[in-house]
């Protein structure tokens, strides 16, 4: 049987590492490209431990055309690309917009040029619900217009989706909501070098004593308890959505975009309470000012992805909390 090779850029990152595991489990041969600039080799080792085998890994920079060309030249018969490689902190992007534009857009341009040159047809792009800005209607559907980006990070995702629309390749943009949790083994997770900006890693750091308290940014939003509302999806569910999207794209050439979430909006204060219940620990928090770049509330309408890809989230918020806590304890 012919090997189904999939290049996974950023495959040693948080979502990338989980997707590599699910690709292998689904019969694909994932090949990682990652220069570890915002993750750790521990994820490469963790993948090998989970799968009982090493996955091929190239230490290369996706914005470097020659480095990427060399890999594409070396690997024949690539079935498709899953492109994760990007910087991802909304907060950092507000201070370092040029870094985000250069890396997030530049890496996709390099990948697309090489795809064209080596006749690789299919790409799954790691997009984000931030492309919608502050949506007018909730839950948000894929037809919602792109509003003004609230951060340079969000703007890079909007620009990348537009680049894909114009390109000759078959492409699917997966617009993630808020990924949380880790693989149940606790062997792979979020090793981002930047200070955790996402809610759950901050909560687990408070729980374990790495930080004193969590600051809830704003309690005066127009929401039931005044804190921001998000759609939190278990990263393993999210990883599986990439496998579904890839299988679909290989069979159905074209251009697609799908929301990937649970369809449930949960507030920051509710998440803290749910975590306290799940692991039976009190979390110290205080209320701070609103944070630049944050949108008030967003959660997904998952009708389209269920209909077209037969995918929906399965894991509960409680399970994600338990897995995140397990990961934190494993990585003291």
Known catalytic residues are 153
Task: Provide the 3-class DSSP secondary structure of residue 329.
Answer: helix
Q: CA-CA distance, 245 to 309, in Å (whole number)?
A: 7
* Cα→Cα distances 193→13, 153, 201, 227, 241, Å: 11, 17, 13, 27, 26
Q: CA-CA distance, 52 to 241, in Å (whole number)?
A: 23
The full DSSP string for 206-241 is: HHHTSSS-EEEE-S-SSSTTSS-EE-EEEHHHHHHH
Crossing angle for the helix pair 41-51 and 14-25, nearest 10 degrees?
20
Contacts for 245 with CB less than 8 Å, ≥ 6 apart: 124, 172, 174, 256, 258, 309, 311
């Amino acid at each position: 049987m012919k090997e189904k090779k999939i290049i996974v850029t950023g495959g040693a990152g948080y979502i990338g590492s989980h997707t590599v595991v699910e690709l292998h489990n689904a019969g694909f041969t994932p090949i990682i490209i990652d220069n570890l600039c915002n993750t750790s080799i521990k994820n490469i080792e963790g993948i090998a431990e989970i799968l009982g085998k090493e996955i091929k890994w190239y230490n290369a920079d996706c914005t470097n055309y020659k480095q990427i060309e060399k890999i594409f030249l070396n690997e024949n018969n690539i079935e498709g690309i899953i492109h994760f490689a990007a910087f991802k902190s909304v907060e950092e992007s507000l201070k370092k917009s040029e870094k985000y534009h250069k890396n997030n857009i530049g890496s996709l341009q390099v990948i697309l040029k090489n795809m064209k040159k080596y006749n690789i047809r299919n790409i799954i792009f790691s997009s984000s619900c931030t492309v919608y800005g502050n949506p007018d209607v909730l839950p948000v559907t894929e037809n919602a217009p792109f509003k003004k980006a609230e951060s340079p990070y969000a703007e890079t995702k909007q620009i990348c989706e537009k680049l894909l629309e114009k390109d000759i390749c078959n492409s699917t943009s997966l617009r993630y909501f808020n990924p949380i949790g880790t693989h149940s083994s606790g062997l792979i997770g979020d090793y981002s070098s930047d200070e955790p900006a996402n809610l759950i890693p901050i909560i687990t750091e408070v729980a374990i004593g790495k930080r004193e308290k969590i600051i809830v940014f704003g309690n005066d939003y127009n929401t039931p308890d005044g804190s921001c509302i998000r759609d939190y999806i278990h990263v393993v569910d999210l990883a599986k959505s990439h496998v579904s999207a890839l299988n679909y794209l290989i069979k159905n050439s074209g251009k697609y975009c799908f929301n990937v979430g649970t369809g449930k909006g949960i507030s920051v204060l509710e998440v803290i309470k749910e975590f306290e219940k799940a692991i039976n620990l009190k979390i110290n928090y205080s209320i701070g000012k609103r944070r630049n770049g944050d949108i008030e509330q967003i959660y997904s309408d998952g009708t389209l992805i269920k209909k077209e890809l037969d995918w929906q989230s399965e894991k509960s918020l409680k399970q994600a909390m338990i897995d995140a806590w397990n990961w934190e304890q494993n990585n003291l």
